Structure formats: structure tokens, C-alpha cells
Structure 1
Amino acid sequence: MKFNAGKSAAYLKQPDPSIRAVLIYGTDLGLVHERVTLLAKSFVEDLSDPFRVSELTGSEIKSDPARLIDEAAAQSLIGGERVVLVKLGGEDIAKPLLQFLDEDIQSSLVIVEAGDLTPRSTVRKLIEKSDAAATIACYSDDLSALGSLIDAVMRENQKMINSEAKEYLLTNLGSDRMVSRGELEKLITYSGDQKEILLDDAMAAIGDNGALSIDEIVYAVADGNRASLETNLARAFVEGTSPIAVLRAAIRHYQRLHLAAGFMRQGLSSRQAVKSLKPPVIFLFVDRFVRQLDRWSGEKIARALAVLTEAEINCKSTGLPAEAVCGRALMSLSQAARH
């Protein structure tokens, strides 16, 4: 069966014993791993316990299909429930999974951890069709989910966070759940014994995570500042920042420019339009955003979005070096900003 977001949350909170296998997959590998760990720990607290946890890879099952049933049917020598954790690469293990689900045996819960799987994936299709198995999809955090994560981490650590600091985190944390949680835990450590986290704390602890670097790239593009763009883009690529991540950040920025331009057409000033955006523009960039609104017309914004969208598609489909494709698109927009 296929769990939606609500059913996924309910199941992870209170697992249904009739479910014998769970596939947790998606583009957000951090969230995938977090949910695999959360589910497994609801059965076995210590996941390093070799008597109660078996770990397999897709390639191991592919080369020895009976291994899955053997591990799932094994009993713990010290008692208690068991789990079988399967790390899936691109292997097709649908047949061993089907055989396992068809077997009438008392078994461990099988948890399959995978990256993004298309609807055509045989493993995904098999589990979605089974009444004894379930799929949980994990996609990049939207602002609502990211806000919930921030609140949860604060509660776990008996901390409060003021609105400015939270807005900063919403803007500067990435979309990967595991990375975001790691950055939040770094912030908790940085804050020490203080009860409330303020904007300065968030900027000091999170400011070096790459998000500000991407912001500087995007603002340099819309400012028409070629020198800043070249410097920050080169540094981002050296640090391993994905060209796709940069392009998507630029797309989001121009979408916000487009939205603010719409507010101006309704009679607001450029500064009033910027203040109307949700989430708010970080105060460090407000003046630059206002100037960009005066620089970019609605027609130019639309052309910029077309250029960026085409660049993202080309990065994924043409085989051309993604960094070069990204760089050319951003340089062309930086030049357009100056005319």
C-alpha cells in the first residue's frame, strides 16, 4: 500500500504489526535515513545489536535471493523483536521481496532504504500493491516541514527561538532533512546554556553552511555584479555545491521578484512590496532586493526564469558539464541586469 503524508506520520508514530515490509525512499536522502532510523528504533532501541538487527544490501540479495527470507525468519538468541535493514541501490529485488511477502512465516520487519524511485520501479510497484507492505515517500522539506523540524529540535533541547532567528533559519537551511538537523544541532551546541536563540546566534552558527554563499551568488546575478558572481560561484563549486542547487535558488529568487513586482502593480512601493513577501527577505539583503525590483521589469524577470529553467533541464539531460551550463546562464543574467 502507498502511505500519504498523514498515514506515514501515523505509522511511524505507531507501527501497524500487519505490515511486514516498508520501503522508505525519495530525493531527500537525509529524511529517508532519519525515518528508517526512527522506524527501526521503535522495534530495536540499539541498532548496533547484531542479534536483533540484520543489514543487507540490494546487491547481496540480488546475488543470493534466499538471504532475505533467511534473515527475516531468523529469531533473536536473546529474545525481542528483530529488523532487517536493506540498503537498495539500483538493484531489482522485487522477486525476493515477493517471495518473502508470500511466505506464511513469523518474520522480522524488513525496512528497505532507497533513493528516488520512479513509479515504474518494480520494487516500488510491488510494495504499493501489497496489503502486507507499505511505501513512505520522502521529498525535500518545504517551509512548513522545515518549520516543524526547527520547532521539534527546539523542544527536544528545551530552547526557545525568536521570530527573526527562525526566519533566518527558514531562509538559510537547505532542503535536506539530515543536513538541516545537523545544522540545528550545531546551533544548539553553539547556544550553550542560554534559553532563547536569537538572530545573532543563528547567523553565527549557520552562516557558514553554504546557504549564504548561494544567496550571494543569486544576489550578485540580479545586481549585475559579475566580479562577485565569479568569485562566489567558483568558491561554491570548489566546496561541492551542486549547480542544480544554485539554479533552483536563482529560480526561487526570481519568482520572489516576480511576486513582489505584482504587489507593486497593485500600488505598493518597492519597499512595501518587499515587506509583503513571506517568508520575509533577510534584513541583510532587503536594500539590494529593493534595488533589484527597480532594475528588473516583469518582462525581464520572465525571460530570466525561462533561461534558468532551460539551464536546469540542460544540466540534467544534455550530458554537458553542469557547472559550465549553470555558469553561462548566470553570467548571461548578470549581463542582462546591467542593461
Structure 2
Amino acid sequence: MKASANQLRTALDKPGGVIRLFLLHGPDEAVADELARRLQTAMGADAERIDLDPATLKSDPARLADEAASLSLFGGARHIRIAPAGEESLEAFRMLLTATHAGNPVVAIAPGVRSTAGIVKLAIDSPKAMAFACYAPTAADAEQIAVRLAHDHGLRTSGGIGRRIAEAAGGDRAIMAREIEKMALYLDAAPDRPQDLDDTAIDAIGADLGDAEMQRAVDAVIEGRPADLGRELARLAEARTSPIPWLRAIARRLIALAEMRAEIDRGEGVDTVMKRHRVFFREEAATARALRRWTPVALARGLARVRAAERSVMAPGNAGDVLAEVAVTDLARATARRG
């Protein structure tokens, strides 16, 4: 069945019903990862997780149904995760959904799969599967998510606070949650002692989101110029600039390219799409080149990599800055290889 967000979350939070397969497809791999983690949380901390790759399913389609019907070695709960899934998994999914018994739920993440793919149609047509398309939230959706997260932490928002948080996080729910947690701690807020969240608090603890000074680094990543990127990163480091603003600037550019690329793939002309998105005329040539270079899969994976790098920077006790620089350098090199 084609599931709504509420239907999917309800089923993931209470596994064990008729649903055997959760298929999370679409370009926003970060959303799919978050949803897959919901299943893992619901299964319990002691649950056994089985990871299967597409090559295994292609060579041995019956393996998935066998694993779904098998008992854990320790007699506890178990679930199965497949990433990244694609059309090579079609026969394995069909065997899973037609098997006599399958007690262990399966979640499959398919970031490069379109809604017209065979595995998506199979999941939609089966009462034992749920298919859900994962796309980056719209600006309005992201703002509402930010407001709800703030409310859950005892923060009262007004005006454009929700929008500011959403834009700062590039629409990434995980990053919004981490930012809001920091603000709640700063204001000593909780559901039983709510506090007002205003621009002053965000200015005191939030990252500077201005991207003008980071533009050259962003362009170097998108255009695949790793040597230039290295020089720009060195300048930013000398200026003691946090990686968070330029990571978010890269994320915003990737999201914009993904939206334009989706419209082009639906048959619209490049010029028409760029005009609709108000691409500055001096940036049209570079944007057109980027749209040719960056495939939907590359955009989804690039965005997931950038968001993961930002979460690393914000997490305590690791070399977050170094991880961020490595992540964007790898993206620039991969773009250069694509020509």
C-alpha cells in the first residue's frame, strides 16, 4: 500500500502486524534513515538486526524470505535492513510478500528509485507492504516540524522563529532537533516549564547562517574543483569559521538542484525551470552544468553526506571539523570524476 506519513510512523512504531516490508524510496536518504531508526527503536535495544545488500538479494532472492521467517539465535526480536535497495531486489521482495510465514519486519531504503519502479509498484499493490516516498520537506513543512519540535522541548515560538530554525538546518529534522535541544538547555526549558524562544536566544547559541563568505567554497564543491576547495577551506579555517554555515550552504544548494532536477526529469526545459526558481542570470550557465553533472542519486547521497557531516561537527568528542572537510572534499572529487 501507498502509506501516508502518519500511517507509516504508526506501523513502524508498532511492528508485528501484517506489514512485512517497509519500502522507503525517494531522494531524501536522511528522512529514510530516520524512519528506519524508528523501526529499530521499536524492536528494542536487544533486537538482532540483519543487514542484507542488493548483490546478495540478486544472487539469492530466497534469502530475504528465509531471514524474515527465521528465529533469532538468542530467541529475541530481529529485523532486517536493506540499503541501498533497487530493482535487483524485485524478485526477493516478491518472494517475501508471498511467503507462507515472515515474522521479522524488513525495511528497505531505496534513494535512487523512482515511483514508477517495479519494487515500488509491488509494494503499493501488496497489503503486506508499505511504500513511502521520502522527499525533503517544503519550506512550510520544515517550519511546522521546527515548531512542533520546539513545543515538545517546552519552547514557545512566535513570528518567524520556526522558519529561521528550519532554514538554518536546511530542512534536516535531525539537525533541527539537535539545535532545539541546545536552545532548550540554554533557556532551561522543558514541557513542564515552558520558555519563550526568540531571536536573542538563537543569536546567542545558534550558528551564523550567512553564506556570502562561504560562496566560493560552495561553488567549488558543486562544480567539482577539489584544488580550489582546499584553498577555500584553508581560508575559512584561518578565519576560525565554523563548518556549520558552509555545510548548510552546500545543503541548501543541493536541495535547490534536486528540486530543479526533479522538474527537468518530468519533462520541463532547463531554461524554464531555472527561471521558475529565479536563478540569477550570471549563475545560469553554472547551474545548467551542475544539473547535468548531478544525478538524482548523486544529489540524494551528497545531501545525506553533508547532513551527516554537520551532525558530526555538532556531536561531542570527535574530530567534527576534519570530518566535514573530508566529506565535502570527497564530494568535489566525485563531481570532478563525473565530468
Is the structural similarity TM-score above 0.5? yes
The residue number in structure 1 matching 2:3 is 3
Q: Distance in 1 between matches of 2:35 and 2:173?
A: 10
The residue number in structure 2 matching 1:213 is 211
Q: Give the C-alpha shift of residue 140 in structure 1.
A: 0.7
Q: Aligned in 2, Cα 1:247/1:103: closer, same or farther, shift over 3 Å?
A: closer
Moved more, 115-124 or 100-109: 115-124
Give the alignment's Cα RMSD to 1 decimal.
4.4
Instruction: Give the residue type in structure 1 aligned to 2:253.
Output: V
1:121 pairs with one of 117, 121, 133: 117
Q: 1:100-111, aligned counterparts within 5 Å?
A: 100-111=96-107
Q: Aligned in 2, Cα 1:37/1:191: closer, same or farther, shift over 3 Å?
A: same
The residue number in structure 1 matching 2:224 is none
Q: Aligned in 2, Cα 1:13/1:45: closer, same or farther, shift over 3 Å?
A: closer
2:253 pairs with one of 246, 269, 278: 246
The residue number in structure 1 matching 2:33 is 33
Q: Distance in 2 between matches of 1:143 and 1:302?
A: 14
Q: Give the C-alpha shift of residue 123 in structure 1.
A: 2.5
Q: How big is each residue's C-alpha offset from its partner over 1:266-303, in whole Å with a ceiling of 9 and x where there is no partner?
A: xxxxxxxxxxxxxxxxxxxxxxxxxxxxxxxxxx9998
Structure 2 gap segments, 5+ residues each: 217-227, 238-242, 260-274, 295-330, 333-339
Q: Aligned in 2, Cα 1:214/1:118: closer, same or farther, shift over 3 Å?
A: farther
Determine helix, strand or coil for the equivalent of 2:210: helix
Q: Distance in 1 between matches of 2:276 and 2:213?
A: 18
| Structure showing greater Rg | 1
Q: How big is each residue's C-alpha offset from its partner over 1:208-249, in whole Å with a ceiling of 9 and x where there is no partner?
A: 4xx42269859xxxxxxxxxxx99x94599957476833866
Instruction: Give the residue type in structure 2 aligned to 1:96.
Output: A
Instruction: Give the residue type in structure 2 aligned to 1:144.
Output: A
Q: Distance in 1 between matches of 2:133 and 2:293?
A: 28
Find out whether 1:201 has 2:208 as its counterpart: no
The residue number in structure 1 matching 2:108 is 112
Q: 1:1-339, aligned counterparts within 5 Å?
A: 1-5=1-5, 7-8=7-8, 11-12=11-12, 17-42=17-42, 44-46=43-45, 49-50=47-48, 53-76=49-72, 81-88=77-84, 92-163=88-159, 165-192=161-188, 195-208=195-208, 211-213=209-211, 217=215, 234=232, 241=247, 245-246=252-253, 304-305=279-280, 308=283, 311-318=286-293
Q: Distance in 1 between matches of 2:284 and 2:54?
A: 35
Structure 1 gap segments, 5+ residues each: 219-229, 253-299, 324-339
Contact 2:47-2:77 within 8 A present in 1 as well? no
Q: Give the C-alpha shift of residue 128 in structure 1.
A: 2.4
Q: How big is each residue's C-alpha offset from its partner over 1:122-159, in whole Å with a ceiling of 9 and x where there is no partner?
A: 32232223232111111112233223322332243333
Contact 1:28-1:139 within 8 A present in 2 as well? yes
Q: Distance in 1 between matches of 2:175 and 2:148?
A: 15
Instruction: Give the residue type in structure 2 aligned to 1:22.
Output: F
Instruction: Give the residue type in structure 2 aligned to 1:99.
Output: M
Q: Give the C-alpha shift of residue 91 in structure 1.
A: 6.6
Q: Percent identity?
A: 22
Q: How big is each residue's C-alpha offset from its partner over 1:12-38, in whole Å with a ceiling of 9 and x where there is no partner?
A: 566682221110122222211111112
Q: Distance in 1 between matches of 2:214 and 2:256?
A: 11
Q: Distance in 1 between matches of 2:104 and 2:181?
A: 33
Q: Distance in 2 between matches of 1:302 and 1:151?
A: 26
The alignment of Structure 1 onto Structure 2 pairs a total of residues equal to: 260
Q: Give the C-alpha shift of residue 316 in structure 1.
A: 2.6
